[in-house]
């Protein structure tokens, strides 16, 4: 009798501007072992059954008569007169709409990390797979790994499994059924506001927080004004000192110049896109400023052999001043290494001095 009454109501429903693919709201009015009946009001009665029923059986088992649900029309009218519905398609569509709104509003979302790969962290948001790339991690969570070793990065990322992070939706890839998230986006507005108190040329004091092959990370205090406005900002801003900005001499290993935990003074040389770039060497006396007055082309000077390379040998002329004796002066790398010994001092003739380029070319003196 129930089934007949439902069919009758469906046939008596008013014609409405709905079609296959429309998402409609309805009320659960009946159920049996393999079907769920939804009162769609003026749209008639819908049914969720067959593969659509079993696809969402875990959700359906918790529904009660009178509960409101959203569903998508997949068949306008079947042979029994019902609107065939899909609960899973509607749920997915509504999830994407909800996530789109979150992205537009810049909402902060809490997610639990469920897995990792070499590129970042994996999680799920509203039953949709989500990915948090390494590049979108907050500075304090970025894996500081020497030589950018992928296995070491993966090991660092595995520490986040099971942890909850605050993120924003960065991109929606509906066709791939995947979300891209960002953790660092959360702090960008705050950092942008804090950075208004800083400018290029400012000297700051900070702590070395990480060392990588390309440079070091330094966290320096925020201004007193910003600190008062946001107590959470006491941790400061993290900037980068590139390897080329650590010292006037050639630096091959940043760990030889500074150590994690060391307090240093550095100068801001650029602020770009909420990123701060600093320099240690700009606060040190530039040894190249007097080199042109001290030496000239043709002078014969003493220099200590520091390092061999495929294109020549580096010679220390003065502390922090290195010149290059090109490999062409020897004919081959083998002959070069046979002629000179690391740590020994020899006479060289100056071929070229370019202080602005921090370059000096040498040859073996006759």
pLDDT at 14 over 70: no
- 47, part of any domain: yes
Asked if 115 and 155 sit in the same domain, the reply is yes
Asked if 193 and 279 sit in the same domain, the reply is yes
pLDDT at 38 over 50: yes
Is residue 230 very low, low, confident or very high in pLDDT (cuts 50, 70, 90)? very low
Asked if 205 and 255 sit in the same domain, the reply is yes
Cβ–Cβ under 8 Å, residues 291 and 353: yes
The pLDDT, as a whole number, for residue 286 is 86
Question: pLDDT, tens digit, for every residue of 147-179?
Answer: 667 788 888 899 999 999 999 888 887 667 788
The pLDDT, as a whole number, for residue 349 is 94
Asked if 24 and 52 sit in the same domain, the reply is yes
Asked if 146 and 194 sit in the same domain, the reply is no
Average pLDDT over residues 93-105: 76
Asked if 116 and 135 sit in the same domain, the reply is yes
The pLDDT, as a whole number, for residue 147 is 61
Lowest mean pLDDT segment, chosen from 91-105, 125-139, 238-252, 261-275? 91-105
- 331, part of any domain: yes
- 100, part of any domain: no
Q: Where among 261, 283, 305 does a domain terminate?
A: 283
Q: Where among 61, 92, 123 does a domain terminate?
A: 92
Asked if 139 and 54 sit in the same domain, the reply is no
pLDDT at 91 over 70: no
Asked if 198 and 278 sit in the same domain, the reply is yes
The pLDDT, as a whole number, for residue 125 is 83
Q: For 2-6, which contacts have Cβ atoms below 8 Å and span 24 or more sequence positions?
A: 2/30, 6/30, 6/37, 6/45, 6/82
Asked if 203 and 279 sit in the same domain, the reply is yes
Average pLDDT over residues 91-113: 79
Of 56 and 343, the structure prediction assigns the larger pLDDT to: 343
Q: Where among 183, 199, 231 does a domain terminate?
A: 183
Average pLDDT over residues 73-78: 82
- 25, part of any domain: yes
Of 15 and 248, the structure prediction assigns the larger pLDDT to: 248
- 20, part of any domain: yes
- 97, part of any domain: no
Asked if 77 and 138 sit in the same domain, the reply is no
- 99, part of any domain: no
The pLDDT, as a whole number, for residue 251 is 84
Please list the alpha-helical segments (H only) found in the chain. 2-12, 51-55, 57-60, 87-105, 150-157, 185-194, 224-229, 291-294, 333-339
Question: pLDDT, tens digit, for every residue of 292-319?
Answer: 788 889 999 999 999 999 999 999 998 8
**Rounded Cα distance, 20 and 72, in Å:** 8
**Rounded Cα distance, 105 and 100, in Å:** 9
The pLDDT, as a whole number, for residue 267 is 96
Lowest mean pLDDT segment, chosen from 9-13, 104-108, 124-128, 214-218? 9-13
Please list the alpha-helical segments (H only) found in 158-295. 185-194, 224-229, 291-294
Q: 113, 199, 201, 202: which is closest to 159 by C-alpha?
A: 113
Of 266 and 19, the structure prediction assigns the larger pLDDT to: 266
The pLDDT, as a whole number, for residue 71 is 82
Asked if 205 and 230 sit in the same domain, the reply is yes
The SS3 call for residue 102 is helix
% of the chain residues with pLDDT over 90: 34
Asked if 337 and 268 sit in the same domain, the reply is no
Domain that holds residue 41: 2-92
Of 200 and 80, the structure prediction assigns the larger pLDDT to: 200
The pLDDT, as a whole number, for residue 18 is 66
Lowest mean pLDDT segment, chosen from 63-67, 85-89, 95-99, 327-331? 95-99
How far is Cα of residue 209 from the mean position of the Cα atoms in its chain? 18
The pLDDT, as a whole number, for residue 138 is 83
Question: pLDDT, tens digit, for every residue of 181-206?
Answer: 998 877 777 788 788 889 999 999 99
- pTM beyond 0.75: the answer is no
Burial 237-253 (b: 16+ CB within 10 A, else e): bbbbbebebbbbbebee
Supply the CATH number for residue 61's domain. Answer: 2.40.50.140
Domain count for the chain: 4
- 45, part of any domain: yes
């Amino acid at each position: 009798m129930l089934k007949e009454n439902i069919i009758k109501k469906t046939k008596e429903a008013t014609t409405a501007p709905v079609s296959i693919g429309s998402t409609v709201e309805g009320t659960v009015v009946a159920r049996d072992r393999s079907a769920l009946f939804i009162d769609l009001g003026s749209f008639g009665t819908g049914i969720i059954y067959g593969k659509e029923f079993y696809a969402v059986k875990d959700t359906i088992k918790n529904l009660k008569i009178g509960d409101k649900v959203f569903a998508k029309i997949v068949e306008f009218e079947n042979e029994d007169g019902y609107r065939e519905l899909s609960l899973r398609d509607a749920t997915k569509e509504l999830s994407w709409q909800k996530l789109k709104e979150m992205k537009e509003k810049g909402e902060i979302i809490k997610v639990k990390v469920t897995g990792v790969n070499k590129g970042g962290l994996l999680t799920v948001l509203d039953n949709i797979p989500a990915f948090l790339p390494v590049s979108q991690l907050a500075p304090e969570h970025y894996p500081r790994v020497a030589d950018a070793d992928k296995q070491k990065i993966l090991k660092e990322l595995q520490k986040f499994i099971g942890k909850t992070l605050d993120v924003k939706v960065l991109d929606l890839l509906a066709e791939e059924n995947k979300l891209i998230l960002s953790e660092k986006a959360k702090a960008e507005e705050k950092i942008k506001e804090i950075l208004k108190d800083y400018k290029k040329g400012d000297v700051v004091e900070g702590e070395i927080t990480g060392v990588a092959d390309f440079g070091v990370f330094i966290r320096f205090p925020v201004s007193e004004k910003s600190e008062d406005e946001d107590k959470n900002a006491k941790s400061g801003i993290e900037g980068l000192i590139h390897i080329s900005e650590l010292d006037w001499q050639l630096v091959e290993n940043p760990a030889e110049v500074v150590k994690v935990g060391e307090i240093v003074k550095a100068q801001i040389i650029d602020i770009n896109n909420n990123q701060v770039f600093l320099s240690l060497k700009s606060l040190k006396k530039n040894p190249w400023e007097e080199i042109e007055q001290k030496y000239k082309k043709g002078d014969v000077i003493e220099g200590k052999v520091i390092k061999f390379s495929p294109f020549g040998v580096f010679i220390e002329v003065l502390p922090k001043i290195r010149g290059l004796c090109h490999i062409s002066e020897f004919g081959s790398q083998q002959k070069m290494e046979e002629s000179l010994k690391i740590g020994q001092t020899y006479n060289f003739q100056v071929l070229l001095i370019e202080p602005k380029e921090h370059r000096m070319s040498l040859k073996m003196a006759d």
